[in-house]
Structure 1
Protein backbone atom coordinates (compact mmCIF):
# COMPACT_ATOMS: atom_id res chain seq x y z
CA UNK A 1 0.00 0.00 0.00
CA UNK A 2 1.20 3.52 -0.77
CA UNK A 3 2.47 5.70 2.10
CA UNK A 4 2.10 9.48 2.09
CA UNK A 5 3.32 12.20 4.45
CA UNK A 6 1.16 14.82 6.17
CA UNK A 7 2.99 16.33 9.17
CA UNK A 8 -0.06 18.28 10.39
CA UNK A 9 -2.08 15.14 11.21
CA UNK A 10 -2.77 14.22 14.83
CA UNK A 11 -4.15 10.93 16.23
CA UNK A 12 -7.52 12.56 16.94
CA UNK A 13 -8.12 13.68 13.35
CA UNK A 14 -10.82 11.95 11.32
CA UNK A 15 -9.90 13.33 7.89
CA UNK A 16 -7.15 15.14 6.06
CA UNK A 17 -5.74 16.27 2.76
CA UNK A 18 -2.48 15.38 1.05
CA UNK A 19 0.11 18.02 0.28
CA UNK A 20 0.16 19.33 -3.28
CA UNK A 21 3.17 17.18 -4.22
CA UNK A 22 1.69 14.02 -2.70
CA UNK A 23 -1.72 14.76 -4.25
CA UNK A 24 -0.17 15.04 -7.72
CA UNK A 25 1.76 11.83 -7.18
CA UNK A 26 -1.36 10.01 -5.97
CA UNK A 27 -3.72 11.17 -8.68
CA UNK A 28 -1.48 11.60 -11.73
CA UNK A 29 1.33 9.09 -11.26
CA UNK A 30 -0.41 6.35 -9.27
CA UNK A 31 -3.85 7.16 -10.68
CA UNK A 32 -5.54 6.66 -7.32
CA UNK A 33 -9.15 7.71 -6.96
CA UNK A 34 -12.03 7.88 -4.46
CA UNK A 35 -12.59 4.69 -2.50
CA UNK A 36 -8.98 3.51 -2.71
CA UNK A 37 -7.03 2.79 0.48
CA UNK A 38 -3.83 4.61 1.36
CA UNK A 39 -1.52 4.99 4.37
CA UNK A 40 -0.53 8.39 5.71
CA UNK A 41 2.07 9.20 8.36
CA UNK A 42 2.82 12.39 10.23
CA UNK A 43 6.48 11.43 10.66
CA UNK A 44 6.06 11.28 14.45
CA UNK A 45 5.18 7.61 14.80
CA UNK A 46 1.52 7.70 13.79
CA UNK A 47 0.26 5.81 10.76
CA UNK A 48 -3.25 6.47 9.48
CA UNK A 49 -5.17 3.86 7.49
CA UNK A 50 -7.25 6.02 5.17
CA UNK A 51 -9.60 6.00 2.21
CA UNK A 52 -9.53 8.64 -0.52
CA UNK A 53 -12.75 10.66 -0.60
CA UNK A 54 -11.84 13.18 -3.28
CA UNK A 55 -9.18 13.23 -5.98
CA UNK A 56 -9.32 16.08 -8.50
CA UNK A 57 -7.51 19.23 -9.61
CA UNK A 58 -8.24 20.82 -6.22
CA UNK A 59 -6.37 18.15 -4.28
CA UNK A 60 -6.67 14.74 -2.68
CA UNK A 61 -8.73 14.38 0.50
CA UNK A 62 -9.06 11.27 2.64
CA UNK A 63 -11.05 9.82 5.51
CA UNK A 64 -9.11 8.28 8.40
CA UNK A 65 -10.37 4.84 9.44
CA UNK A 66 -7.58 3.50 11.68
CA UNK A 67 -4.69 4.99 13.64
CA UNK A 68 -1.60 2.97 14.51
CA UNK A 69 1.22 4.17 16.76
CA UNK A 70 4.67 2.88 15.86
CA UNK A 71 6.90 2.95 18.93
CA UNK A 72 10.44 4.39 18.67
CA UNK A 73 13.25 1.89 18.37
CA UNK A 74 14.92 0.74 21.62
CA UNK A 75 18.11 2.48 20.46
CA UNK A 76 18.82 5.66 18.52
CA UNK A 77 21.46 6.53 15.95
CA UNK A 78 22.76 10.05 15.45
CA UNK A 79 25.34 10.62 12.75
CA UNK A 80 27.17 13.95 12.78
CA UNK A 81 28.80 14.47 9.40
CA UNK A 82 30.70 17.22 7.61
CA UNK A 83 28.97 18.06 4.29
CA UNK A 84 30.91 17.00 1.21
CA UNK A 85 32.06 19.38 -1.53
CA UNK A 86 29.88 17.45 -3.99
CA UNK A 87 26.44 17.80 -2.44
CA UNK A 88 25.13 14.74 -4.33
CA UNK A 89 27.22 12.53 -2.06
CA UNK A 90 25.73 13.83 1.18
CA UNK A 91 22.24 13.61 -0.33
CA UNK A 92 22.95 9.97 -1.18
CA UNK A 93 23.98 9.33 2.42
CA UNK A 94 20.80 10.94 3.79
CA UNK A 95 18.59 8.89 1.48
CA UNK A 96 20.24 5.56 2.29
CA UNK A 97 20.60 6.24 6.03
CA UNK A 98 16.89 7.02 6.33
CA UNK A 99 16.02 3.85 4.44
CA UNK A 100 18.22 1.78 6.77
CA UNK A 101 17.01 3.53 9.92
CA UNK A 102 18.37 6.61 11.68
CA UNK A 103 16.99 9.00 14.29
CA UNK A 104 19.07 12.14 13.78
CA UNK A 105 21.48 13.61 11.24
CA UNK A 106 23.57 16.61 12.30
CA UNK A 107 25.89 18.58 10.04
CA UNK A 108 29.08 20.32 11.16
CA UNK A 109 32.04 22.20 9.72
CA UNK A 110 35.62 21.39 10.66
CA UNK A 111 39.03 22.87 9.88
CA UNK A 112 39.33 20.86 6.66
CA UNK A 113 35.72 21.22 5.47
CA UNK A 114 35.41 22.25 1.82
CA UNK A 115 31.69 23.05 2.05
CA UNK A 116 30.44 25.43 4.72
CA UNK A 117 26.95 26.20 3.44
CA UNK A 118 24.15 23.65 3.38
CA UNK A 119 20.46 24.29 2.76
CA UNK A 120 18.28 21.84 4.65
CA UNK A 121 15.18 22.26 2.47
CA UNK A 122 16.33 19.83 -0.22
CA UNK A 123 17.83 17.48 2.39
CA UNK A 124 14.45 17.37 4.16
CA UNK A 125 12.67 16.48 0.92
CA UNK A 126 15.09 13.62 0.33
CA UNK A 127 14.58 12.36 3.90
CA UNK A 128 10.79 12.48 3.53
CA UNK A 129 10.93 10.59 0.22
CA UNK A 130 13.19 7.94 1.76
CA UNK A 131 10.89 7.57 4.77
CA UNK A 132 7.90 7.00 2.49
CA UNK A 133 9.85 4.67 0.19
CA UNK A 134 10.88 2.46 3.14
CA UNK A 135 7.39 2.56 4.72
CA UNK A 136 8.54 4.13 7.99
CA UNK A 137 6.55 6.34 10.34
CA UNK A 138 9.36 8.31 11.99
CA UNK A 139 11.09 11.15 10.15
CA UNK A 140 14.65 11.66 11.41
CA UNK A 141 15.62 14.98 12.97
CA UNK A 142 17.84 17.05 10.67
CA UNK A 143 20.09 19.68 12.25
CA UNK A 144 21.61 22.80 10.69
CA UNK A 145 25.37 22.87 10.32
CA UNK A 146 27.45 24.04 13.28
CA UNK A 147 31.17 24.51 13.84
CA UNK A 148 32.63 21.32 15.28
CA UNK A 149 33.69 23.06 18.49
CA UNK A 150 30.13 24.21 19.11
CA UNK A 151 28.70 20.78 18.28
CA UNK A 152 30.88 18.94 20.81
CA UNK A 153 30.20 21.56 23.47
CA UNK A 154 26.51 20.62 23.46
CA UNK A 155 25.18 18.06 25.92
CA UNK A 156 25.23 14.65 24.25
CA UNK A 157 23.60 11.58 25.80
CA UNK A 158 24.63 7.96 25.45
CA UNK A 159 27.71 6.55 23.76
CA UNK A 160 29.73 9.05 21.73
CA UNK A 161 32.31 8.09 19.10
CA UNK A 162 34.62 9.74 16.61
CA UNK A 163 35.39 7.57 13.59
CA UNK A 164 39.00 7.97 12.56
CA UNK A 165 41.81 5.91 11.06
CA UNK A 166 44.60 6.29 13.63
CA UNK A 167 48.22 5.70 12.72
CA UNK A 168 48.82 3.12 15.45
CA UNK A 169 45.80 0.96 14.56
CA UNK A 170 44.90 0.54 18.23
CA UNK A 171 41.36 1.97 18.20
CA UNK A 172 38.54 -0.62 18.35
CA UNK A 173 36.02 -1.08 15.59
CA UNK A 174 32.72 0.71 16.20
CA UNK A 175 30.87 -2.63 16.20
CA UNK A 176 32.91 -3.82 19.18
CA UNK A 177 33.07 -0.49 21.02
CA UNK A 178 29.30 0.12 21.04
CA UNK A 179 26.86 -1.60 23.39
CA UNK A 180 23.33 -2.63 22.29
CA UNK A 181 20.18 -0.58 22.99
CA UNK A 182 21.95 2.72 23.58
CA UNK A 183 21.79 6.25 22.25
CA UNK A 184 24.70 6.66 19.83
CA UNK A 185 26.41 9.72 18.44
CA UNK A 186 29.11 9.21 15.80
CA UNK A 187 31.27 11.97 14.31
CA UNK A 188 32.35 11.54 10.69
CA UNK A 189 35.00 13.94 9.42
CA UNK A 190 35.19 15.95 6.18
CA UNK A 191 36.96 14.85 3.02
CA UNK A 192 40.19 16.24 4.43
CA UNK A 193 39.57 14.32 7.68
CA UNK A 194 39.77 15.75 11.18
CA UNK A 195 42.87 17.69 12.11
CA UNK A 196 45.02 16.30 14.92
CA UNK A 197 43.90 19.19 17.10
CA UNK A 198 40.22 18.41 16.43
CA UNK A 199 40.70 14.74 17.30
CA UNK A 200 42.19 15.72 20.65
CA UNK A 201 39.40 18.24 21.32
CA UNK A 202 36.71 15.67 20.56
CA UNK A 203 38.34 13.01 22.74
CA UNK A 204 38.69 15.55 25.56
CA UNK A 205 34.94 16.21 25.21
CA UNK A 206 34.22 12.54 26.03
CA UNK A 207 34.09 10.91 22.59
CA UNK A 208 35.75 7.52 22.10
CA UNK A 209 38.06 6.99 19.14
CA UNK A 210 36.90 4.11 16.88
CA UNK A 211 37.54 2.87 13.37
CA UNK A 212 35.25 1.54 10.65
CA UNK A 213 37.84 -0.90 9.35
CA UNK A 214 41.30 -0.73 7.73
CA UNK A 215 40.16 0.95 4.50
CA UNK A 216 40.10 4.71 4.03
CA UNK A 217 36.47 5.57 3.26
CA UNK A 218 34.85 8.55 1.62
CA UNK A 219 32.89 10.76 4.01
CA UNK A 220 29.46 9.59 2.85
CA UNK A 221 30.56 5.93 2.82
CA UNK A 222 31.93 6.20 6.35
CA UNK A 223 28.73 7.86 7.58
CA UNK A 224 26.54 5.15 6.07
CA UNK A 225 28.88 2.41 7.32
CA UNK A 226 28.60 3.75 10.89
CA UNK A 227 24.82 3.90 10.63
CA UNK A 228 24.51 0.34 9.37
CA UNK A 229 27.08 -0.94 11.86
CA UNK A 230 24.96 0.26 14.79
CA UNK A 231 21.75 -1.01 13.23
CA UNK A 232 23.34 -4.42 12.68
CA UNK A 233 24.69 -4.52 16.23
CA UNK A 234 21.18 -4.16 17.59
CA UNK A 235 19.70 -6.67 15.14
CA UNK A 236 22.28 -9.25 16.25
CA UNK A 237 21.56 -8.44 19.89
CA UNK A 238 17.79 -8.88 19.45
CA UNK A 239 18.29 -12.24 17.73
CA UNK A 240 20.52 -13.47 20.55
CA UNK A 241 18.18 -12.44 23.35
Structure 2
Protein backbone atom coordinates (compact mmCIF):
# COMPACT_ATOMS: atom_id res chain seq x y z
CA UNK A 1 0.00 0.00 0.00
CA UNK A 2 1.12 3.54 -0.71
CA UNK A 3 2.55 5.53 2.20
CA UNK A 4 0.10 8.35 1.38
CA UNK A 5 -3.60 7.64 1.77
CA UNK A 6 -6.28 10.15 0.88
CA UNK A 7 -9.73 10.55 2.45
CA UNK A 8 -12.93 10.96 0.44
CA UNK A 9 -16.06 9.95 2.40
CA UNK A 10 -18.36 9.94 -0.65
CA UNK A 11 -15.93 8.74 -3.31
CA UNK A 12 -18.37 6.27 -4.88
CA UNK A 13 -20.96 8.97 -5.55
CA UNK A 14 -18.48 11.84 -6.03
CA UNK A 15 -15.05 10.63 -7.29
CA UNK A 16 -13.20 13.77 -6.22
CA UNK A 17 -10.82 14.66 -3.41
CA UNK A 18 -11.75 17.47 -1.03
CA UNK A 19 -9.96 20.81 -1.34
CA UNK A 20 -7.62 20.00 1.58
CA UNK A 21 -6.81 16.57 0.19
CA UNK A 22 -6.41 17.95 -3.35
CA UNK A 23 -3.99 20.61 -2.17
CA UNK A 24 -1.94 18.02 -0.30
CA UNK A 25 -1.91 15.76 -3.34
CA UNK A 26 -0.89 18.41 -5.87
CA UNK A 27 0.97 21.09 -3.90
CA UNK A 28 2.73 18.97 -1.27
CA UNK A 29 3.22 15.57 -2.93
CA UNK A 30 3.39 17.10 -6.43
CA UNK A 31 1.39 14.29 -7.99
CA UNK A 32 0.52 14.51 -11.68
CA UNK A 33 -2.34 13.22 -13.79
CA UNK A 34 -2.00 9.48 -14.29
CA UNK A 35 -0.51 8.90 -10.82
CA UNK A 36 -1.77 5.91 -8.83
CA UNK A 37 -3.18 6.80 -5.40
CA UNK A 38 -5.02 5.05 -2.57
CA UNK A 39 -8.20 6.54 -1.10
CA UNK A 40 -10.34 5.47 1.86
CA UNK A 41 -13.91 6.46 2.62
CA UNK A 42 -13.47 5.80 6.35
CA UNK A 43 -16.24 3.19 6.14
CA UNK A 44 -14.07 0.10 5.67
CA UNK A 45 -12.95 0.40 2.05
CA UNK A 46 -9.72 1.21 0.24
CA UNK A 47 -9.85 2.40 -3.37
CA UNK A 48 -6.95 2.07 -5.79
CA UNK A 49 -7.41 5.08 -8.04
CA UNK A 50 -5.89 6.89 -10.99
CA UNK A 51 -5.54 10.64 -10.73
CA UNK A 52 -7.52 11.96 -13.71
CA UNK A 53 -7.30 15.68 -12.99
CA UNK A 54 -4.55 17.12 -10.78
CA UNK A 55 -6.25 20.33 -9.64
CA UNK A 56 -5.14 21.88 -6.31
CA UNK A 57 -8.77 22.50 -5.29
CA UNK A 58 -10.59 19.51 -6.77
CA UNK A 59 -8.73 16.42 -7.92
CA UNK A 60 -10.76 14.00 -10.02
CA UNK A 61 -10.03 10.28 -9.66
CA UNK A 62 -10.96 7.09 -11.43
CA UNK A 63 -11.62 4.02 -9.28
CA UNK A 64 -9.67 0.99 -10.54
CA UNK A 65 -10.10 -1.43 -7.65
CA UNK A 66 -12.10 -1.58 -4.42
CA UNK A 67 -10.98 -3.56 -1.38
CA UNK A 68 -13.17 -4.12 1.65
CA UNK A 69 -11.24 -4.28 4.92
CA UNK A 70 -12.62 -6.46 7.71
CA UNK A 71 -12.28 -4.99 11.18
CA UNK A 72 -9.39 -6.40 13.18
CA UNK A 73 -11.55 -6.57 16.31
CA UNK A 74 -15.18 -7.15 17.20
CA UNK A 75 -15.66 -4.77 20.12
CA UNK A 76 -16.84 -1.16 19.84
CA UNK A 77 -14.68 1.13 22.01
CA UNK A 78 -16.39 4.37 23.05
CA UNK A 79 -14.61 6.99 25.18
CA UNK A 80 -16.65 9.87 26.62
CA UNK A 81 -14.52 12.55 28.26
CA UNK A 82 -14.57 16.15 29.43
CA UNK A 83 -12.14 18.12 27.20
CA UNK A 84 -9.39 20.04 28.98
CA UNK A 85 -8.67 23.75 28.50
CA UNK A 86 -5.45 23.15 26.54
CA UNK A 87 -6.62 22.17 23.05
CA UNK A 88 -3.29 20.56 22.19
CA UNK A 89 -3.88 17.93 24.85
CA UNK A 90 -7.34 17.09 23.52
CA UNK A 91 -5.89 16.76 20.03
CA UNK A 92 -3.07 14.57 21.33
CA UNK A 93 -5.57 12.10 22.78
CA UNK A 94 -7.72 12.05 19.65
CA UNK A 95 -4.68 11.41 17.47
CA UNK A 96 -3.13 8.67 19.60
CA UNK A 97 -6.44 6.94 20.33
CA UNK A 98 -7.20 6.82 16.60
CA UNK A 99 -3.78 5.31 15.91
CA UNK A 100 -4.28 2.63 18.58
CA UNK A 101 -7.91 2.06 17.66
CA UNK A 102 -11.06 3.75 18.98
CA UNK A 103 -14.53 3.67 17.42
CA UNK A 104 -16.32 6.58 19.02
CA UNK A 105 -15.46 9.68 21.06
CA UNK A 106 -17.99 11.84 22.88
CA UNK A 107 -17.25 15.22 24.46
CA UNK A 108 -18.84 15.69 27.89
CA UNK A 109 -19.89 18.86 29.66
CA UNK A 110 -19.52 18.23 33.37
CA UNK A 111 -19.86 20.30 36.53
CA UNK A 112 -16.11 20.91 36.78
CA UNK A 113 -15.44 21.09 33.03
CA UNK A 114 -12.84 23.61 31.91
CA UNK A 115 -14.62 23.89 28.56
CA UNK A 116 -18.34 24.55 28.33
CA UNK A 117 -18.37 24.34 24.53
CA UNK A 118 -16.03 23.06 21.87
CA UNK A 119 -16.00 23.08 18.08
CA UNK A 120 -15.23 19.72 16.53
CA UNK A 121 -13.88 20.75 13.09
CA UNK A 122 -10.22 20.84 14.13
CA UNK A 123 -10.51 17.63 16.15
CA UNK A 124 -12.13 15.87 13.21
CA UNK A 125 -9.21 16.85 10.98
CA UNK A 126 -6.79 15.41 13.55
CA UNK A 127 -8.73 12.14 13.59
CA UNK A 128 -8.82 11.90 9.79
CA UNK A 129 -5.08 12.56 9.59
CA UNK A 130 -4.34 9.90 12.24
CA UNK A 131 -6.55 7.37 10.44
CA UNK A 132 -4.63 7.93 7.20
CA UNK A 133 -1.22 7.93 8.88
CA UNK A 134 -1.93 4.60 10.59
CA UNK A 135 -3.33 3.20 7.31
CA UNK A 136 -6.77 2.37 8.67
CA UNK A 137 -10.01 2.16 6.72
CA UNK A 138 -12.41 3.04 9.53
CA UNK A 139 -12.90 6.62 10.75
CA UNK A 140 -13.82 6.99 14.44
CA UNK A 141 -17.06 8.86 15.11
CA UNK A 142 -16.68 12.16 16.97
CA UNK A 143 -19.82 13.34 18.79
CA UNK A 144 -20.41 16.98 19.77
CA UNK A 145 -20.40 18.10 23.38
CA UNK A 146 -23.33 16.86 25.43
CA UNK A 147 -24.48 17.40 29.00
CA UNK A 148 -23.21 14.64 31.31
CA UNK A 149 -26.58 13.93 32.90
CA UNK A 150 -28.31 13.62 29.56
CA UNK A 151 -25.57 11.37 28.19
CA UNK A 152 -25.50 8.82 31.03
CA UNK A 153 -29.27 8.41 30.74
CA UNK A 154 -29.02 7.46 27.05
CA UNK A 155 -29.03 3.80 26.04
CA UNK A 156 -25.87 1.82 25.30
CA UNK A 157 -25.66 -1.91 24.62
CA UNK A 158 -22.44 -3.06 26.25
CA UNK A 159 -20.27 -2.69 29.33
CA UNK A 160 -20.30 0.74 30.97
CA UNK A 161 -17.61 2.13 33.27
CA UNK A 162 -17.01 5.44 35.05
CA UNK A 163 -13.42 6.18 36.10
CA UNK A 164 -12.99 8.52 39.06
CA UNK A 165 -10.52 9.32 41.86
CA UNK A 166 -12.75 9.27 44.95
CA UNK A 167 -11.75 6.95 47.79
CA UNK A 168 -14.73 4.66 47.37
CA UNK A 169 -14.88 1.02 46.26
CA UNK A 170 -13.74 0.61 42.66
CA UNK A 171 -12.57 -2.23 40.44
CA UNK A 172 -9.46 -2.04 38.29
CA UNK A 173 -10.57 -1.60 34.68
CA UNK A 174 -8.23 -4.39 33.57
CA UNK A 175 -10.11 -6.78 35.89
CA UNK A 176 -13.62 -5.45 35.33
CA UNK A 177 -13.69 -5.54 31.53
CA UNK A 178 -14.97 -8.71 29.84
CA UNK A 179 -12.93 -9.31 26.64
CA UNK A 180 -14.28 -8.71 23.16
CA UNK A 181 -17.44 -6.85 24.22
CA UNK A 182 -18.61 -3.34 23.40
CA UNK A 183 -17.50 -0.86 26.03
CA UNK A 184 -18.19 2.74 27.04
CA UNK A 185 -15.81 4.45 29.48
CA UNK A 186 -16.42 7.85 31.11
CA UNK A 187 -13.38 10.01 31.93
CA UNK A 188 -13.84 13.21 33.92
CA UNK A 189 -12.28 16.69 33.74
CA UNK A 190 -9.10 17.78 35.57
CA UNK A 191 -11.15 18.34 38.73
CA UNK A 192 -12.77 14.89 38.34
CA UNK A 193 -16.48 14.21 38.16
CA UNK A 194 -18.56 15.60 40.99
CA UNK A 195 -19.75 13.05 43.53
CA UNK A 196 -23.28 13.62 42.27
CA UNK A 197 -22.18 12.79 38.72
CA UNK A 198 -20.52 9.57 39.86
CA UNK A 199 -23.69 8.49 41.65
CA UNK A 200 -25.80 9.47 38.63
CA UNK A 201 -23.60 7.32 36.40
CA UNK A 202 -23.81 4.39 38.81
CA UNK A 203 -27.59 4.72 38.91
CA UNK A 204 -27.45 4.46 35.10
CA UNK A 205 -25.59 1.15 35.24
CA UNK A 206 -21.98 2.38 35.06
CA UNK A 207 -19.50 0.39 37.15
CA UNK A 208 -16.92 2.55 38.99
CA UNK A 209 -13.36 1.68 37.97
CA UNK A 210 -9.77 2.67 38.58
CA UNK A 211 -7.03 3.00 35.98
CA UNK A 212 -4.25 2.38 38.51
CA UNK A 213 -2.68 3.91 41.60
CA UNK A 214 -1.31 7.06 39.96
CA UNK A 215 -3.50 10.09 39.34
CA UNK A 216 -3.55 10.74 35.59
CA UNK A 217 -4.30 13.78 33.48
CA UNK A 218 -7.58 13.56 31.60
CA UNK A 219 -6.06 12.84 28.20
CA UNK A 220 -3.62 10.31 29.71
CA UNK A 221 -6.47 8.51 31.46
CA UNK A 222 -8.44 8.36 28.20
CA UNK A 223 -5.54 6.83 26.31
CA UNK A 224 -4.74 4.42 29.16
CA UNK A 225 -8.34 3.20 29.04
CA UNK A 226 -8.21 2.61 25.27
CA UNK A 227 -4.89 0.79 25.52
CA UNK A 228 -6.08 -1.37 28.41
CA UNK A 229 -9.05 -2.61 26.38
CA UNK A 230 -6.81 -3.41 23.42
CA UNK A 231 -4.28 -5.35 25.50
CA UNK A 232 -7.01 -7.45 27.13
CA UNK A 233 -8.62 -8.23 23.79
CA UNK A 234 -5.29 -9.14 22.22
CA UNK A 235 -4.55 -11.55 25.06
CA UNK A 236 -8.05 -13.01 24.72
CA UNK A 237 -8.79 -13.03 20.96
CA UNK A 238 -12.35 -13.71 19.88
CA UNK A 239 -12.96 -17.01 18.11
CA UNK A 240 -15.26 -15.14 15.71
CA UNK A 241 -12.67 -12.53 14.76
CA UNK A 242 -12.02 -12.02 11.07
CA UNK A 243 -8.98 -10.24 9.78
CA UNK A 244 -8.78 -10.21 6.02
CA UNK A 245 -9.13 -8.08 2.95
CA UNK A 246 -11.68 -8.78 0.26
CA UNK A 247 -10.88 -7.37 -3.17
CA UNK A 248 -13.90 -6.16 -5.08
CA UNK A 249 -13.06 -5.35 -8.67
CA UNK A 250 -14.84 -2.36 -10.06
TM-score by length of 2: 0.89
Counterpart-to-counterpart distance in 2, 1:233 and 1:87: 30
The count of aligned residue pairs is 237
Task: Determine if the alignment matches structure 1 residue 9 to structure 2 residue 8.
Answer: no
Moved over 4 A (4+): none
Structure 1 residue 216 displacement after superposition: 0.3
Whether the aligned pair in 2 keeps the contact of 1:77 and 1:185 (CA below 8 Å) is yes
Q: 1:108 maps to what in 2? A: 108
Unaligned runs of 5+ in 2: 242-250
CA separation in 1, counterparts of 2:190 and 2:126?
Answer: 22
Match of 1:209 in 2: 208
CA RMSD after TM alignment: 1.8
The question of whether the paired residues in 2 share the 8 Å contact of 1:165 and 1:214 is answered with no
- Give 1:9 shift: 2.0
The answer (yes or no) to whether the contact 1:110–1:148 under 8 Å persists in 2 is yes
Q: What secondary structure is seen at the aligned counterpart in 1 of 2:236?
A: helix
For residues 32-52 of structure 1, the C-alpha deviation after alignment (integer angstroms, 9 at most, x for no partner) is: 222322111111111111121
Q: CA deviation at 1:218?
A: 0.4
Paired residue secondary structure (1:130): helix
CA deviation digits over 1:112-146, x for unaligned, max 9?
11211100111111111111111111111111111
Give 1:165 shift.
2.6
With over 3 angstroms needed to count, the CA separation of the structure-2 counterparts of 1:42 and 1:201, relative to structure 1, is same
Residue equivalent to 2:220: 221
- 1:53 and 2:52 are equivalent in the alignment: yes
Q: Is 1:236–2:235 an aligned residue pair?
A: yes
**Separation of aligned partners in 2, 1:98 and 1:210:** 23
